[in-house]
Amino acid sequence: MWITVIITGVRMMLSEIIAAFHGIANKIIPNSVPGLDIPLLFPNYPNSVILGFLTSLIAGLLGMMVLGLLNYPVVVFPALIPTFFTGAVTAIFGNAHGGRRGAIIGSFVNGLILIFGQALLLPMIGTYAPIMRILSETDYSFYGPILGWILKLFGGM
């Protein structure tokens, strides 16, 4: 049910925004084509969306358990919005390039990056939990710790 609500909301929002921005863009740049975000694909690949979200969530929960067993600071719960959106995207592209196996592996790796990346960022930004909900996208969780370690090498942190 909630997937249907999200997909319907995305369709409604995109149908309104595309028309509005396309009209403005055509006045500024004639014959322009609107660039759209990845949720535009969600209605066309509902199975990948659900598979990706669930696989990414399971990976995040398993990552939480591993962090707990290692006595490492644990991010309380995987952020559901990034887990949903990035898990769905990795499943869509994984399915396109590697079938069901690609969708599962891609989404699982995405979930691990989200949870372990956030955990590695905690010592760099403190344990202020609400900020991790904002900074929990896969790109930030992957590149954030790398950038933090580079800055630490040069004395920036």
Side chain identity at 21, as an amino acid letter? F
pLDDT per residue, tens digit, the chain (157 aa), is 666 776 677 777 777 777 777 777 778 888 877 776 777 788 788 899 999 999 999 999 999 999 989 988 776 677 788 888 899 999 999 999 999 999 999 999 999 999 998 888 877 776 665 666 666 788 888 888 898 889 888 886 5
Integer-rounded Cα radius of gyration of the chain: 18
Distance, in Å, from the CA atom of 102 to the CA atom of 85, rounded to the nearest integer, reads: 17
Q: Which residue segment(s) compose the domain that 5 sits in? A: 1-36
Query: Structure pTM?
Result: 0.76
Do 49 and 24 fall into the same domain?
no
Do 32 and 108 fall into the same domain?
no
Do 72 and 148 fall into the same domain?
yes
Do 56 and 128 fall into the same domain?
yes
How many residues does this entry show for the chain?
A: 157
| Token pair in block for residue 124 | 């760099």
C-beta neighbour count of 38 within 10 angstroms: 12
Do 27 and 49 fall into the same domain?
no
Do 29 and 97 fall into the same domain?
no
Number of domains in the chain: 2
Instruction: Give the pLDDT of residue 124.
Output: 79
Distance, in Å, from the CA atom of 63 to the CA atom of 17, rounded to the nearest integer, reads: 37
Do 6 and 71 fall into the same domain?
no
